[in-house]
Amino acid sequence: MADVVQYRLERMVDELDDLERRGIFSRAEISEIVKQRRKFEYRLKRPSPLKQDFLAYIDYESQLDELRRLRRKAVSFQSGEKKKKKKSISDYAGVAKIVEIYRLATRRFKGDINLWFNYLEFCRQKRNGRMKKVLAQVIRFHPKVAEVWIYAAAWEFDRNLNVAAARALMQNGLRVCPNSEDLWVEYLRMELTYLNKLKVRRVALGEGEGSLVRDQKSVEDEQWKDENKELFMSLDDKEEKDKDGSDVDDDDDEDASERVDVFKEKGSNVLQAIYGGALEALPSSFDLRRRLLEILEATDLAHSDDIRNTILNDLKRDFSGDPDYWNWLARNEMNGCVSVEFANPQMQKAIQP
């Protein structure tokens, strides 16, 4: 055991020499760092190391790396350096050390999902390029945990900007965990968020008001337009004429409304497809349908009234004997969210003024 600990400490020599050479830590401070690391390394090499031993080591290394970062800024400020220095081994060694401790900890405690999530959060914050590998390991060891699939899909969607990978992860998660309400809800949120991003992108490009349909123009038409720019009215002239009301093109307004409907139609189709799958997987879940209905209420989609009535009718059909359903219906009726027509005659009589 002593030989292994000594070997691991000797691998830190280059990092510690770099810290001393750059004036970040003094020799006495480096001796204290070696002393603390030796203590932690011996703890990890015990026959049965505790989870707290790994967490304490990670906490110490995190604080040490933060102190190194602050000292490095102070040294650069005092020396008056304006150019950004090239990073050296000590700038990477701290993060690499913490990653190694997390790797040993998760190998020892594979079933601890909270430890895995701490590992994932560290990789996400430091952006050290190990995120995909760690996600694959978590999914392999915990495929039945819905939060793992949601986390992986969220990272692909938000940070890696890979919608196809995020969608594939969500769909695989639903195959493995079809009874997870959170997975169905988050899958719907992700798809509607993606459609909304496409809508905003079209607006930013000036291609209508949130259209998902690109105008079909040939290359020759675009080239001819560029060569004859003087034939086209400027934007300022168009705005003045629009103010006068003389040259308002109703066809453009109709096209814009049709393009907006494309987003609404796609979103409506997505919601109906996911609602159908969720209803088949969890036919007895009242809370799932309520959450999907809340998403529908917060989104402007095509045929939203018809979809809303369908969900409410399904709720009344399947949960008319459930007190929670009537409690929810009464509260929404008081807030004006649900029409009184979905209540039974006794309830209608009770809530009418």
**228-237, 271-280, 313-322: lowest mean pLDDT where?**
228-237
Q: What is the mean pLDDT of residues 240-245?
A: 50
What percentage of the chain exceeds 70 in pLDDT?
A: 77
According to the model, what pLDDT value does residue 208 have?
54
Q: Say if residue 247's pLDDT is above 70.
A: no
Q: What is the residue-averaged pLDDT of the chain? A: 82
Phi-psi category of 177—alpha, beta or left, where left has phi over 0 and alpha has psi -120 to 50?
beta
Instruction: Read off the pLDDT of each residue in 215-223 and give the average, rounded to a whole number.
Output: 49
- pLDDT tier at 2 (50, 70, 90 boundaries)? confident
Reported as a single tens digit per residue, the pLDDT across 280-310 is 999 999 999 999 999 998 888 888 889 999 9
Residue 59 burial (CB count, 10 A): 11
Average pLDDT (184-212) is: 80
Which of 159, 239, 267, 120 minimizes the C-alpha distance to 275? 267
Query: Of 128, 126, 188, which Cα lies nearest the Cα of 153?
Result: 188
The answer on pLDDT for 277 being more than 90 is yes
The CA dihedral of 75, 80, 82, 83, to the nearest 10 degrees, is -60
Q: How confident is the model at residue 90 (pLDDT cuts 50, 70, 90)?
A: confident
Q: 351 is written with which tokens?
A: 């809530």
pLDDT at 261 over 50: yes
The predicted-structure confidence for 25-80, as pLDDT tens digits, reads as follows 999 999 999 999 999 999 999 989 999 999 999 999 999 999 999 998 888 877 76
Nearest to 19 by CA among 60, 84, 64, 51: 64
- Residue 282, judged by CB atoms within 10 A of its CB (0-12, 13-18, 19+), counts as middle
Burial code (b: 16+ CB inside 10 Å, e: under 16) for 130-163 equals bbeebbebbbeebeebbbbbbbbbbbbbeeeeeb
Other Cβ atoms within 10 Å of 337 Cβ, number: 14
Query: 109 φ, ψ to 5°?
Result: -120, 70
Lowest mean pLDDT among 25-34, 186-195, 250-259, 324-333: 250-259
Instruction: Identify the burial level of 117 via C-beta atoms within 10 angstroms of its C-beta, where 0-12 means exposed, 13-18 middle and 19 or more buried.
Output: middle
CA dist., res. 324 & res. 166, Å (int): 34
Q: What is the pLDDT of residue 265?
A: 87
- 254 pLDDT higher than 70: no
Q: Averaged over 102-115, what is the pLDDT?
A: 95
- The C-alpha atoms of residue 57 and residue 47 are separated, in whole angstroms, by 17
In the chain, what percentage of residues exceed pLDDT 90? 53
Q: Give pairs for 306-309: CB < 8 Å, separation 24+.
A: 307/268, 307/271, 307/272, 307/275
What are the backbone dihedrals phi and psi of residue 60, each rounded to the nearest 5 degrees, phi first? -65, -45
- Structure tokens given for 58: 């990670």
Give the pLDDT score at 342: 52
Candidate from 30-39, 119-128, 333-342 with smallest mean pLDDT = 333-342
Residue 244: the pLDDT is: 54
Evaluate if residue 14 carries a pLDDT over 50: yes
The structural domains of the chain, with segments of one domain joined by +, span 1-81+88-109
The answer to whether residue 234 scores a pLDDT higher than 50 is no
Select, from the ranges 82-86, 99-103, 235-239, the one with the highest average predicted confidence (pLDDT). 99-103
